């Protein structure tokens, strides 16, 4: 019964507004799970690029995120949802997926950096 609140927090979707508010509050890590070529075309400011297929080999980096809010981002929100689940299993307590990914972020007029 006590496990249910923990399971609910893993992989919740955030709107662009919610993500912006969380980022502005601090203690948030943005993990862009796209491949390096996609990441280079434009990403959220301050994002760390850890492609989804590299998660198993980059656990030491992921360990550092456990005490922070983690927002997983991909192009459209599919890979980030899978990443959020994996991050939750790795012990990150507050994990979110950016709804619609970088595409939705940019369509809302929010900046991407190269």
Distance CA 89, CA 107 (A): 31
62, 72, 73, 74: the catalytic one is: 74
92 is catalytic: no
Distance CA 107, CA 114 (A): 17
* Contact criterion met (CB below 8 Å) for 80 and 73: yes
Question: 2: which DSSP letter?
Answer: T
* Contact criterion met (CB below 8 Å) for 71 and 33: no
Q: Which residues are catalytic?
A: 74
């Amino acid at each position: 019964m006590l496990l249910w609140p923990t399971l609910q927090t893993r992989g919740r979707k955030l709107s662009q507004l919610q993500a912006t508010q969380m980022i502005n509050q601090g203690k948030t890590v943005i993990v862009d799970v796209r491949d390096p070529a996609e990441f280079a075309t434009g990403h959220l400011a301050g994002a760390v690029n850890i492609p989804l297929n590299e998660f198993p080999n980059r656990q030491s980096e992921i360990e550092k995120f456990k005490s922070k809010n983690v927002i997983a981002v991909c192009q459209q929100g599919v890979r980030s949802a899978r990443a959020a689940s994996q991050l939750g299993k790795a012990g990150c307590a507050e994990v979110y997926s950016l709804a619609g990914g970088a595409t939705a972020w940019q369509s809302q007029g929010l900046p991407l950096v190269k």
